[in-house]
Amino acid sequence: MNLFNIAQSGLSAAQAALNVVGNNLSNAMTDGYSRQNIILGEAGGRATGYGFFGYGVQTNDVKRSYDGFLNNQVRGANAQFEGLNGRYEQLTQIDDMFGDNTNNISVTMGNMFGAMEKMSSDPANAAARQEVYSQFKAIANQYRTNSDTLKGLEKSTNTKISQAVSDINGCAKQLANLNKEIAKVQASSGTLPSDLMDQRDQVLGQLSGLTGIKVNENSTTGCVDVTLANGYSLVNGEDVCELKAQPAADDPNKLVVAYTNNAGDDMLLDDDTLSTGTLGGLFKFRNTDLKDAENQLNQLALKMASKFNQVNQAGYDQNGDAGSAIFSLDDPQAIANSNNSGDASLVISRSDNSAVQAQDYTLTFTGPSASDWTVKTGDGQTITPTVGDDGSLSFDGVTVKPQGTPQANDSFVFNPLAGAAGSLTVAIDGGEKIAASSSADATDQSNNENIKKMLDIKNQQLIGKSTLSEAYASLVSSVGSSMTSLKSGCATASGVLDQWSQQQQSVSGVDMNEEYINMQMYTQYYQANSQVLQTATTLFDTILSIK
């Protein structure tokens, strides 16, 4: 009877092995599936005086092909790539706008100076004056359009940040549920469910694409604990700590991320601690690329407008009246911290456009005197302002006049260049208001001395050592340089991700050729054991036939 048992054990093992191979082949194209391997072992035996006789074969386990180290490397590489790629996709929109060779500020500016050149040869020509006036409106519209595009990008970035946070929370909840289900199966059967483990690794892969994570896996229970890159726990067994996207206290137009711990307390996270994954890329784009582009565009608009206004106000228009400002811009606006307890506000004006800096300032009231304000730059440097008799604070080309009654620690944030491009409009109402003449004599229609000075603006170094055209070219170049750097970084990160993924797939992926060979091998294995069973049956029948 032992031969029957041996044959049956072989048939059972072969059937189990074919089931595993069949499952591998069926899921060869299933995303996230990990190849399974059957583990066969001896079924024991019996020692006799004639030697040791085995009892056949048994199925010890079905193991999931998995390498925790490789999976961690893939997740880390994925976080790096998605961070760079998310930033690159956003920056592409700025590059497309500034890099449009047919419709950009440089082209419009060239058209404006070209129209002024024609007007210079015949200042009395109404059509020439109207053409210059139209070009003034065109350049103002170009600045406003570009500013609106950047503001739209800021809003879309906030939306994507909010979505990324929501997706991170969703992944964390899925992992907690999977931890619960995996632990339940393991406790009842003593084995780990391969399908749930595959689902778990897929969710971890999605999560790593959203933000950098560290994973600690319990090899016995199959449960994972996940922490953010800064060490804060995100998933601990079945418990989840969520993230929250909310308006910043110092700027409601900017979303920040808060971490909610197990006690329900919210802690603001520093953007720099979330440096990888889609979320990190969005923060880097918003805080660096977008901010730099806005500052440079606003600075260009302010310098151009103030210089044209200055020159036009030094001449006389077609009616012999003193020239007025060609362009108008809104004054900077201070943003009150949402935690302020007083009713104070700030009235800000640009007192010296040449000294205005492209950076953020934070003004904090320290009291008790009305002039007790601390001024700090965005990088934390303290500035000592000049305090006027009316309590106004002057520094870096701006004058700030506090209004109302501030309370201790009330604070405000502002950028003196903010809104310059977006608010740029033409202040004069017609071409006759262009002060082309240096004479107040309205009959001196051929006087073009002042329009020549206006034309000379094209060659003047207004922004550092750059002309307006050079400054715009520098803006386009800086965006292009960032694009080139990011494109190269994406290519490198993608290569690293591919390498680790290939190594991970070499362990966990299904090789259909290999599985086909296994199928043939186990088919022969099954057939061989069938022959053993047939032999055992024949022998038994022979014994029964003896009379």
Confidence of residue 202 (pLDDT cuts 50, 70, 90): very high
DSSP assignment of 402-423 equals EES---TT-EEEE-TTTTTTTT
Amino acid at 107: V
179-188: long-range pairs with CB below 8 Å, 24+: 179/223, 179/224, 179/235, 179/237, 179/238, 180/238, 182/221, 182/222, 182/223, 183/221, 183/222, 183/223, 186/220, 186/221, 186/222
- Residue 264's pLDDT is 85
- Residue 486's pLDDT is 95
Residues 10-37 have pLDDT tens digits of 999 999 999 999 999 999 999 999 999 9
Percent of the chain scored above 70 by pLDDT? Answer: 100
DSSP assignment of 275-310 equals -SHHHHHHHHIIIIIIHHHHHHHHHHHHHHHHHHHH
Amino acid at 5: N
Pair 453, 309: CB distance under 8 Å = no
Q: Given a cut of 70, is residue 1 above it in pLDDT? A: no
- Residue 25's pLDDT is 95
Residues facing 260 on adjacent strands: 266
Residues 42-101 have pLDDT tens digits of 998 888 888 888 899 999 999 999 999 999 999 999 999 999 999 999 999 999 998 888
Helix H, strand E, coil C: the string for 327-354 is EECCCCCCEECCCCCCCCEEEEEECCHH
Percent of the chain scored above 90 by pLDDT? Answer: 82
Residue ranges of the domains in the chain?
Answer: 2-65+509-545, 165-277, 331-418
- Residue 457's pLDDT is 96
Distance, CA of 491 to CA of 294 (rounded, Å): 27
- Residue 51's pLDDT is 87
Confidence of residue 546 (pLDDT cuts 50, 70, 90): confident
Beta strands at 425-426 and 373-377: parallel, antiparallel or unpaired: unpaired
Distance, CA of 248 to CA of 256 (rounded, Å): 6
Across residues 350-354, what is the average pLDDT?
90
Amino acid at 396: D
Average of per-residue pLDDT values in the chain = 93
Phi then psi for residue 165, to 5 deg, are -65, -45
- Residue 78's pLDDT is 96
Which SS3 state, helix, strand or coil, does residue 43 take? coil
- Residue 215's pLDDT is 95
Confidence of residue 525 (pLDDT cuts 50, 70, 90): very high
DSSP assignment of 445-511 equals TT--HHHHHHHGGGGS--BTTB-HHHHHHHHHHHHHHHHHHHHHHHHHHHHHHHHHHHHHHHHHS--
- Residue 430's pLDDT is 94
Pair 28, 515: CB distance under 8 Å = yes
Across residues 418-440, what is the average pLDDT?
95
- Residue 379's pLDDT is 86
Residues 261-295 have pLDDT tens digits of 888 889 999 888 888 999 999 999 999 999 999 99
Pair 486, 84: CB distance under 8 Å = yes
Instruction: Give the pair of three-digit tokens for residue 364.
Output: 């904090």
- Residue 485's pLDDT is 94
Residues 475-487 have pLDDT tens digits of 999 999 999 999 9
List C-alpha distances in Å: 361 to 329, 364, 372: 20, 10, 16
Q: Given a cut of 60, is residue 248 above it in pLDDT? A: yes
- Residue 186's pLDDT is 92
